Amino acid sequence: MSTDEDAPDWVTLGREETVVWSDHPSLYLVKRWLVVAAVAIVLGLIGATFLPPDWRLLGWLAVVAGVGVAAAAYVKTRTITYVVTTEKAYKKTGLLNKHQNTVRLERVQTVSLAQSLLQRPANCGELTLDTAGNDVPEIVFDCVREPERVNGLISDATGAKSGTRATSV
């Protein structure tokens, strides 16, 4: 179990409440943007090296654009925070427009884990917390690192039925 120091400043813990788990999504969440960034950087460096001097600026602009895309992708993952305490689960998203979703663990009936074929080697997956009376999931944690371990932690904290399903790419 974690202590008060492990809780983000936007989470207020009750008297007996402790943080069970807290993390951000894996970079797998933005894998496509990271590929775009890598391609732009590589092509930009090639262009900056081999293009005629009058055109080399174009190569450097591609490098800068690639670095910008990679930075934006990284920021996207860092502006999503997942927290599970002994009493509640939280998902906070956004940098400028912030959104926080909270569910009391006593309401959670099922914790489901889904991993695509490509997520397995990256050791990440999607955890879904379902509550009674809702047709849509209450909270979805995308691209969670070590999803089996986190699924167990949440299931232990909720006493919910744990489910695992594998999904295709």
- Over the stretch 19-40, which tens digit does the pLDDT of each residue have? 999 999 999 999 999 999 999 9
pLDDT of residue 159: 67
Rounded to 5 degrees, what are φ and ψ at 94?
A: 105, 150
pLDDT of residue 38: 97
Whole-prediction pTM value?
0.83
Average pLDDT over residues 123-134: 88
Q: In one letter, which amino acid is 12?
A: T
- Over the stretch 30-88, which tens digit does the pLDDT of each residue have? 999 999 999 999 999 999 999 999 999 999 999 999 999 999 999 999 999 999 999 99
